A = this chain, B = another copy of it.
Amino acid sequence: MTVIESAGLRARKKLRTRDAIADAAISLFLARGFDHVSVSDIAAAAEVSKPTLFRYFPTKEDLVLHRFADHKGEAARVVDSRGPDVPPMTALHRHFRAGLDRFEPVTGLNDHPEVIAFHRLVFATASLTGRLTQYQLDDEAALAAALGSGIAGRLQAAQVVAVQRVLARTNWQKIADGRTAHDVQPEAIADADHAFAQLSHGSI
Q: Is A134 an interface residue (CB 8 A)?
A: no
Interface residues in A1-43 (C-beta closer than 8 Å to B)? 9, 12-13
Interfacial chain B residues near A49, Cβ < 8 Å: 9
Number of copies: 2
User: Which residues on A are within 8 Å of B, measured CB to CB?
Assistant: 9, 12-13, 47-49
Contacts of A9 in B (CB 8 A): 47-49
Instruction: Kindly provide the distance from the CB of A43 to the nearest chain B CB, expressed in whole angstroms.
Output: 9
Q: Interface centre among A9, A12, A13, by most B CB within 10 Å?
A: A9
Among residues of B, the one whose C-beta sits closest to the C-beta of A49 is B9
Closest chain B residue to A52 by CB distance?
A: B9
Query: Complex formed: what's the CA distance from A48 to B12 in Å?
Result: 11
Lowest 5 CB-CB distances: which A-B pairs, in order? A9-B49, A9-B47, A9-B48, A12-B47, A13-B47
Task: Select from chain B the residue with minimum beta-carbon distance to A47.
Answer: B9
Question: Quick one: closest B residue to A10, CB to CB?
Answer: B49
Distance between Cα atoms of A47 and B47 in the complex (Å): 18
A16 and chain B: residue at smallest CB distance: B47
A-B contact pairs, 5 of them (CB 8 A): A9-B47, A9-B48, A9-B49, A12-B47, A13-B47
